[in-house]
């Protein structure tokens, strides 16, 4: 059986901390493009991909509590980027739709992010890009699988 050494654990901690530092721009409640935060863009993007999205499905996509989802959605509704209607299948449920302004903002932010990710890609040696992306996806899935129901403080 393969075991992880303390050195490997320390390296994982360093990598995790480094990722937390460099992805900070995506976790702040500060607008980064078109007056939209990264979490708000995630919402716009999820709705854009599906044309309409139930709030219950959005909780799962964002991996946050219902109250947090509502807190993130409300400013987008107030800005006129999203519209919330009662779901047809359940009057207690809500469905989100992009407005015309929401589609424009989503497109503009997508272009902004494309430029950002192109810069990132250029900083990865071309011959290693595929391996890096595969490794990051493996790492993300390992974190998701390990974090489910885990509380390190217990």
CATH class of 20-147: mainly alpha
DSSP line for 36-103: B-HHHHHHHHHHHHHSSEEHHHHHHHHT--HHHHHHHHHHHHHTTSEEEEE-SS-TTSEEEEE-HHHH
Question: What pLDDT score does 21 carry?
Answer: 76
Map out the domains of the chain as residue ranges.
20-147
- Tens-digit pLDDT string for the chain (154 aa): 456 667 777 888 888 788 877 777 666 666 678 889 888 899 999 999 998 898 888 888 888 888 888 888 999 999 999 999 886 666 667 889 999 999 999 999 999 889 888 998 999 999 999 999 999 899 888 888 887 665 655 5
């Amino acid at each position: 059986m393969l075991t992880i050494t303390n050195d490997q654990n320390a390296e994982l901690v360093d990598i995790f901390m480094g990722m937390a530092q460099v992805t900070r721009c995506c976790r702040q409640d500060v607008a980064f493009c078109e007056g939209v935060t990264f979490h708000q863009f995630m919402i716009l993007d999820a709705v854009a991909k599906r044309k309409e999205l139930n709030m219950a499905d959005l909780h799962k996509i964002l991996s946050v509590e219902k109250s947090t989802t509502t807190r993130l959605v409300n400013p987008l509704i107030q800005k006129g980027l999203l519209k919330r209607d009662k779901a047809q299948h359940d009057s207690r449920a809500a469905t989100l739709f992009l407005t015309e302004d929401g589609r424009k903002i989503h497109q503009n932010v997508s272009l902004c992010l494309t430029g950002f990710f192109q810069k990132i890609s250029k900083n990865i040696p071309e011959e290693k890009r595929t391996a890096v992306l595969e490794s990051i996806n493996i790492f993300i899935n390992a974190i998701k699988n390990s974090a489910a129901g885990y509380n390190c403080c217990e």
